[in-house]
Amino acid sequence: MPKKAVIHIQNNAAGPPIKIAIATPPIFPVPTVPDRAVLRA
């Protein structure tokens, strides 16, 4: 019984991480920081 519960937890946890990884790229504003520095310079 406990083994089945562990497998279920892994399957459930395997879903959310994929969505988080896809949402992370747009969150990181890498190009915006250099642009502001160039405008000030």
> For the chain, what are the domain ranges?
2-40
The mean per-residue pLDDT over the stretch 31-35 comes to 61
User: What is the spatial distance between Cα 23 and Cα 10, in angstroms, rounded to a whole number?
Assistant: 21
User: What is the spatial distance between Cα 31 and Cα 25, in angstroms, rounded to a whole number?
Assistant: 12
State the pLDDT at residue 6: 52
Residue 19 amino acid letter: K
State the pLDDT at residue 1: 56
Q: Any idea what DSSP says for residue 29?
A: -
State the pLDDT at residue 23: 56
The mean per-residue pLDDT over the stretch 14-41 comes to 58
The mean per-residue pLDDT over the stretch 13-40 comes to 58
Q: Any idea what DSSP says for residue 1?
A: -
Give ∠ CA 18-29-25 in degrees, rounded to 5.
Answer: 15
pTM to 2 decimal places: 0.14
14 phi/psi in degrees, rounded to 5: -70, -25
